[in-house]
A and B are shown apart, each in its own frame.
Chain A
Amino acid sequence: MNSRKELINHFALMTEIIDQHQEGKRDVTFRVFRFNPQVDSKPYFDDYTISAERGITVLRSLNYIKEHVDPSLSFRAFCQAGICGSCGMRVNGTSKLSCTSQVWDELDKCREPGIIKVEPLRSMPIIKDLIVDMDPLVDKMKRYSNWIDSTMPLAEMGKKEFLVSEEEFHRYDKATDCILCASCVSECSILRANKEYVSPAVLLKSYRMNVDSRDSIHDVRLAELVKDHGVWDCTHCYRCQESCVKSIPIMEAIHSIREDALECRGPKDTSGAKHAEAFMEDIEKKGKLVEATLPIRTNGVVWTLRNLLPMAMKMIVKRRTPPPPPLVKPAKGIKIFRAMFREMSEHVKQDHLKSHKK
């Protein structure tokens, strides 16, 4: 075995090498959102300029600032390896994990050269600085039963395995990558307008539970998902999927829930389903929307009169009313379009048979 001296030399050498590794440094300014509800009436930004080396992450920079410049700067961090989901924040305007974001990559995305902007996640109440309240998300997980309610009787638990095919496993494998970092929650355009909205993360988890053959409350969960603020409120902006730190196809999950809802509960079940159905009907018939009757077909006559009449009056005054249904002529080349439409519908049906348990 080596002597103690060699051992110490080994460590000393290592430290020395690390110290020498000073090349590849740049001055970087972090413009960080600050808000302490105890003293601040409104949020502000603090600038911290540090010398950052190549390879350093945004989180390590924030740690450095907290240790050496301003210990009051507050943010969450735990595993620092991209798996616990604590350090979600907005870096240069995009929600992501700060622990896996490279400073030098971010420098290419700055609006003002050399200044990296760091803000808390959106659509969640701010507690302090970069820390937001996660409780509303947890409450939604509860509301939408984001758990497996096993078909295995309690007395049989632990005695035998369910047999799960590779194919079924692949249906939810990617969805179980979700670490609840809430980047999608922060990027969701619906949530910014409506805090009651179910949120992408909870839809993803709901999907994951619904396609699991071990679960027994698929119908209960789905019934909740089709209510107001549920799955039909999504506007397909794809921001959730684009910002997902685990590259999970969240929109696919949302589409799947909708298809599942149409199939299981029928197209007349909720206004969301009726809306989708009316859309399909128009597109198939005319290749475009018959907007004038869309609200009636979605929400019924009474609701439309009560809610849209004032707006309709204004539209008439401004001459902005959509054309009445008889005037909406089928689009050019509608025959070819219809053939394509039917072929697509057939494909979707086949995919369904393949990927959905019934």
Chain B
Amino acid sequence: MKPFDIVIVGGGGAGLYAAMEAMKTNPALNIAVLTKVYPNRSHTSAAQGGANAALGNKAKDDTVEMHIFDTIKGSDYLADQDAVDVLCSEAPKIIRELENIGTPWSRMEDNTIAQRPFGGAGRPRCCYCADKTGHTILQTLYEQCLRKGVIFFNEYFALSLSVQGSRSRGLMAMNMKSGKVEAFPARTVIFATGGYAKMYWNRSSNAAGNTGDGQAIAYRAGIPMKDMEFVQFHPTGLRKSGLLVTEGARGEGGFLINKDGERFMARYAKEKMELGPRDLVSRSIETEILEGRGFDSPAGKYIHLDLTHLGADLIKSRLPQIREMSLNFEGVDPIEEPIPVRPTAHYSMGGIDTDNFGRTVMDGVYAAGECACVSVHGANRLGGNSLLDILVFGRIAGHTAAEEAGKFEPGKISEEEIKASVDELRSSMQPSGHYERYGALREELGQTLALNVGIFREASLLKQGIRDISELKERFKKVRVFDSSDVFNTNLMQVLELKNMLDLAETVAIGALAREESRGSHTRIDFPVRDDEKWHKHTLATLVNGKTTPGEKPVTMGRYELQERTY
């Protein structure tokens, strides 16, 4: 195959924006987007609530500076302040740009883009399209990529980076339709593969494919992962499935109620109540449940998200998807009854360590979106900042790669390397003798993570988690792929996804054990307070000679000094 200038792995918001921007930066470049699902299926489509930008349409006194402060405070001061500057100052421009190319934003009475309040934000600055914001943004970006003639390799599963010394020569991927391993020699590679929170399996709001493929590939190629221990639990997942009820539901005025009928958030965040930041609301719900004030049901304990007082009209016009999901997956109509919810693993703050331009430590390799860690979210991401992150940093990574592609020689991937990759794939498919089922391993991984590396953490639990994960990794070697077909072998794909989750789960648990403090989403029962002296820093996890090797990186400070984080 002719070498590409840029190969983008992942066709969600970050990947598509990167492709669009790279083509705009230099139309002469040979750019491809490689994705394991059709781009319009990507998990960006599931983002319901919106994207933050200080447009000032709703609150005239809103400023970029206030958005910056809210984000830094929300991150529990672990975000890099220069990166947050970029995120928030680019926000109004990027929201308008999306508007200009067709995103159907909901509107205010004066016909400007509508905004609503969101958790942890001092002003209503979350721009939205009903409760299908991510879906409409993804559609818009996909439409524009089709317009510009971006080359798509749909349903290709990325396998590994081809590395020579300190730089990448391209990528190896499996064509799902044919089962063939194909080489994608490239000057630059951008990872935009989304998050890894699906490793919590049934206790996760994520799509089945959010298995951290990009991070795992980069990690195995020796690129460091940053702040992996920070996994955000969304306060309101549906009780049975873990599927998400958007924060928009609380933004519109929904109440959280325990079994005594109390709006219990008064105990934890007197001022912000239900619109406190996610980590705090999740912990509050979990505490209510642990202290016996939750509801009980065969499908587990839960609390109520009550929207009934909002009225049928508002629910139908602003939260139609939520209503549909509650009906489909809980059999509850939120117009009439409260929705049963509990916290669910939702977002990975950690990811591939990048600078503010999307560069990783490896020449020619970039990352953006949830799979990257710049870091703008630090220890806890604010609602409405993830769509913003993928848009802003997707664009920046696309721009940087387009500018820098010329610096790198076109990559070449030898036949031997392709053959080695095929052999590795084949050998892993048919172990002899005793074998393991991937489905069982996947479920056990989710269980041990939810139990030992969940919302409340403790040294002994975390150690158990690490032991469990390494045992699962050992058992993984015996997993058998039963489907022997070359054509669309989803059995093989799911096994490879499990491998990616197992590799990353180890870095999450090790990071969580190392960080002896409580900050943002990371809550240690045995170290209940934030310890700035020892732990105001990023953690790194790098694979050296097959072993996870810890490292650290300072947090870039700026205008804002460390403060206690209260709401």
Interface residues of A (CB under 8 A from B): 1-2, 4, 6-8, 10-11, 14, 17-18, 20-21, 36-39, 55, 57, 66-68, 70-72, 74-86, 100, 102, 127-129, 131, 134-135, 138, 141-142, 145-150, 152, 156-166, 169, 172-173, 176-180, 209, 212, 214-215
Q: How far is the CA of A212 from the CA of B139 in the complex (A)?
A: 15
Instruction: Report 29 cross-chain contacts, Cβ distance below 8 Å, ordered by A residue.
Output: A7-B456, A7-B461, A10-B301, A17-B297, A38-B486, A55-B240, A67-B439, A72-B482, A72-B484, A80-B208, A81-B244, A84-B42, A85-B41, A100-B328, A127-B177, A128-B488, A134-B154, A135-B154, A141-B143, A145-B147, A158-B97, A161-B99, A161-B113, A164-B111, A166-B107, A166-B109, A176-B132, A176-B139, A179-B40
* Distance from A63 Cβ to chain B, minimum over Cβ atoms (Å): 8
Q: Is the CB of B130 within 8 A of A173?
A: yes
Q: What residues on B are CB-neighbors of A159 within 8 Å?
A: 93, 96
Q: Is the CB of B325 within 8 A of A81?
A: yes
Q: How big is chain B's contact interface, by range? A: 35 or more
Contact of B112 among A102, A145, A161, A178 (CB under 8 A): A161
Contact of A215 among B102, B106, B111, B144 (CB under 8 A): B102
Q: Is the CB of B100 within 8 A of A162?
A: yes
Q: Is the CB of B290 within 8 A of A142?
A: no
Q: How far is the CA of A135 from the CA of B291 in the complex (A)?
A: 53
Task: Verify if B243 is at the interface (C-beta below 8 Å from A).
Answer: yes
Q: Which residue of B lies closest to A37 (CB)?
A: B487
Could you mark each residue 232-247 of chain B with 1 if its beta carbon is under 8 Å from any beta carbon of chain A, else 0?
Answer: 0000000011011000
Instruction: Supply 13 further A-B pairs (C-beta < 8 A) apart from A4-B461, A134-B38, A157-B101.
Output: A1-B528, A11-B450, A38-B485, A71-B482, A74-B491, A84-B207, A85-B41, A134-B154, A142-B146, A146-B146, A148-B102, A158-B93, A176-B139
Q: What residues on A are CB-neighbors of B300 within 8 Å?
A: 14, 17-18
Could you mark each residue 109-122 of chain B with 1 if its beta carbon is under 8 Å from any beta carbon of chain A, else 0?
Answer: 11111000000000
Q: How far is the CA of A177 from the CA of B324 in the complex (A)?
A: 13
Q: What residues on B are CB-neighbors of A156 within 8 Å?
A: 100
Q: What residues on A are CB-neighbors of B389 within 8 Å?
A: none
Query: Are A84 and B97 CB-contacts (below 8 A) given A4-B458, A38-B487?
Result: no
Contact of A80 among B40, B107, B111, B207 (CB under 8 A): B207
Contact of B102 among A141, A150, A163 (CB under 8 A): A150
Contact of A78 among B43, B111, B113 (CB under 8 A): B43
Q: What residues on A are CB-neighbors of B324 within 8 Å?
A: 82
Task: Verify if B37 is at the interface (C-beta below 8 Å from A).
Answer: yes
Could you mark each residue 279-294 of chain B with 1 if its beta carbon is under 8 Å from any beta carbon of chain A, else 0?
Answer: 0000000000111000
Q: What residues on B are CB-neighbors of A178 within 8 Å?
A: 139
Q: Is the CB of B146 within 8 A of A84?
A: no
Q: What residues on B are CB-neighbors of A85 within 8 Å?
A: 40-41
Q: Is the CB of A72 within 8 A of B146?
A: no
Q: How far is the CA of A298 from the CA of B370 in the complex (A)?
A: 56
Q: Is the CB of B41 within 8 A of A84?
A: yes
Contact of B491 among A71, A135, A150, A214 (CB under 8 A): A71
Q: Is the CB of A71 within 8 A of B97?
A: no
Q: How far is the CA of A68 from the CA of B329 in the complex (A)?
A: 23
Q: What residues on A are CB-neighbors of B55 within 8 Å?
A: 161
Q: Which residue of A lies closest to B144 (CB)?
A: A147
Q: What residues on A are CB-neighbors of B99 within 8 Å?
A: 161-162
Q: Is the CB of B491 within 8 A of A36?
A: no
Q: Is the CB of B146 within 8 A of A147?
A: yes
Query: Are A82 and B328 CB-contacts (below 8 A) given A67-B437, A158-B94, A164-B107?
Result: yes
Query: Are A83 and B485 CB-contacts (below 8 A) given A71-B491, A150-B101, A158-B93?
Result: no
Task: Verify if B160 is at the interface (C-beta below 8 Å from A).
Answer: no
Q: How far is the CA of A209 from the CA of B456 in the complex (A)?
A: 48
Q: What residues on A are CB-neighbors of B329 within 8 Å?
A: 81
Q: What residues on A are CB-neighbors of B450 within 8 Å?
A: 11
Q: Is the CB of A74 within 8 A of B488?
A: yes
Q: How far is the CA of A18 from the CA of B203 in the complex (A)?
A: 14
Task: Verify if B298 is at the interface (C-beta below 8 Å from A).
Answer: yes
Q: How far is the CA of A86 from the CA of B460 in the complex (A)?
A: 41
Q: What residues on B are CB-neighbors of A74 within 8 Å?
A: 483, 485, 488-491
Q: What residues on B are CB-neighbors of A209 within 8 Å?
A: 102
Q: How far is the CA of A209 from the CA of B144 in the complex (A)?
A: 12
* Distance from A281 Cβ to chain B, minimum over Cβ atoms (Å): 38
Q: What residues on A are CB-neighbors of B188 within 8 Å?
A: none
* Distance from A254 Cβ to chain B, minimum over Cβ atoms (Å): 20
Q: Is the CB of A68 within 8 A of B439?
A: yes
Q: Which residue of B lies closest to A153 (CB)?
A: B100
Q: Which residue of A lies closest to B97 (CB)?
A: A158
Q: Is the CB of B94 within 8 A of A84?
A: no
Q: How far is the CA of A6 from the CA of B289 in the complex (A)?
A: 12
Q: Is the CB of B102 within 8 A of A147?
A: yes
Query: Are A160 and B37 CB-contacts (below 8 A) given A81-B46, A142-B146, A146-B143?
Result: no
* Distance from B134 Cβ to chain A, minimum over Cβ atoms (Å): 8
Q: How far is the CA of A39 from the CA of B486 in the complex (A)?
A: 10
Q: Which residue of A lies closest to B240 (CB)?
A: A55
